[in-house]
């Protein structure tokens, strides 16, 4: 038997082995998603059709809660406002994280990993503690009021930024910037440096190399970082609760109130499903034309 024939016979076996390995690797996360995402999501979908959370009417199925949400313009406006806050936060995070990731990838040299670790270390602390820290900073006795008092711009300390939409965005940007920098850094690290050398040899200027080579090749990482902020921020409720006040309330606070205070689980389920549907549509729209393998770095 020739060597070519042996290679042809060995190819299906190798492909089968690869498929088996992929199946083994994907089974644990697949089961995890099934148990803690798909099944709870199905239960929530069933709750959205129930007439009541508790009591005798809980087994009665109805579309009343969907009709109620469609008639509630205030909830729809709050969802739209939350989408805008998430969009603003994501864009600011990308703008701040890209230069940071660029420096780590192209200028930091051997110390890039150490600097990257320093960047990520604050995220190891409690999410709640970091929000409370910004509540103190933005409060009446915080650093911003102290600075304004020392400059004589104000006569009395007051929580100027606290309990506002701006406070929510500032806090969310601080929390998410490291998580945006990581995928952008990974995308920049995957760029073949020989392409940059070739562009330079052809007479391209530094800004041309950045705009025509680095930026297009880093877009999958930028999109991954953008989505990693946008998706969870739409349903955020802890940050608005602590630093947002009335002016900084978001859609997630309304959903949380339906589950925890009003005990109206069917309506809360409807609101959650609508939010998830809107986020999925926007995510697929933003990610159109970008391969999943590019986002994963494959």
pLDDT at 144: 76
Distances (CA, A) of 9 to 13, 14, 18, 20, 298: 7, 9, 15, 18, 27
- The whole-angstrom separation of Cα 167 and Cα 138 is 8
| DSSP designation for 57 | G
pLDDT at 298: 46
| Structural contact between residues 267 and 65, judged by C-beta atoms closer than 8 angstroms | yes
pLDDT at 170: 92
- The whole-angstrom separation of Cα 93 and Cα 294 is 21
pLDDT at 177: 94
State in Å, rounded, how far the first CA of the chain is from the last one. Answer: 36
* Phi, psi dihedrals of residue 290, rounded to the nearest 5°: -110, 125
| Average confidence (pLDDT) per 10 residues, the chain, 298 residues | 51 67 85 91 91 72 91 94 96 96 90 88 87 84 77 70 87 94 92 89 88 91 92 93 89 93 91 94 76 50
Distances (CA, A) of 255 to 87, 133, 170, 267, 272: 20, 25, 23, 8, 7
Architecture of the domain made up of 65-296 = Orthogonal Bundle (1.10)
Number of helices and strands in the chain (H, E): 15, 0
Q: What residues form DSSP beta bridges with 50?
A: 61
CA 174 to chain centre: 13
Q: What is the pTM of this model?
A: 0.85
Query: How is the chain split into domains, by residue range?
Result: 1-47, 65-296
Tokens of 281: 């549509």
pLDDT at 273: 95
């Amino acid at each position: 038997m020739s060597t070519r024939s042996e290679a042809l016979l060995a190819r299906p076996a190798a492909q089968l082995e690869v498929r088996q390995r992929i199946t083994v690797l994907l089974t644990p996360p697949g089961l995890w998603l099934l148990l803690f995402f798909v099944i709870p999501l199905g239960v929530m979908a069933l709750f959205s059709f129930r007439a009541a959370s508790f009591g005798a009417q809980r087994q009665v199925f109805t579309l009343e809660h969907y009709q109620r949400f469609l008639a509630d313009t205030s909830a729809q406006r709050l969802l739209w406002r939350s989408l805008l806050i998430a969009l603003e936060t994501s864009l600011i995070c990308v703008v701040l994280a890209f230069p940071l990731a660029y420096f780590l990838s192209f200028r930091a040299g051997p110390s890039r990993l150490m600097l990257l670790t320093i960047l990520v270390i604050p995220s190891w602390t409690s999410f709640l503690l970091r929000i409370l820290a910004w509540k103190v900073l933005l409060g009446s006795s915080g650093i911003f009021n102290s600075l304004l008092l020392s400059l004589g711009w104000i006569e009395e300390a007051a929580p100027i930024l606290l309990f506002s939409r701006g406070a929510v965005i500032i806090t969310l940007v601080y929390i998410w910037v490291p998580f945006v920098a990581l995928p952008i850094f990974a995308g920049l690290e995957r760029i073949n440096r020989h392409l940059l050398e070739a562009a330079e040899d052809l007479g391209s200027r530094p800004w041309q190399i950045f705009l025509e080579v680095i930026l297009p090749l880093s877009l999958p990482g930028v999109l991954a970082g953008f989505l990693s902020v946008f998706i969870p921020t739409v349903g955020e409720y802890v940050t608005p609760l602590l630093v947002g006040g009335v002016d900084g309330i978001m859609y997630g606070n309304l959903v949380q109130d339906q589950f925890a205070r009003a005990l109206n689980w069917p309506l809360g389920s409807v609101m959650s499903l609508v939010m998830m549907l809107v986020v999925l549509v926007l995510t697929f729209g933003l990610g159109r034309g970008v391969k999943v393998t590019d986002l994963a770095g494959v």
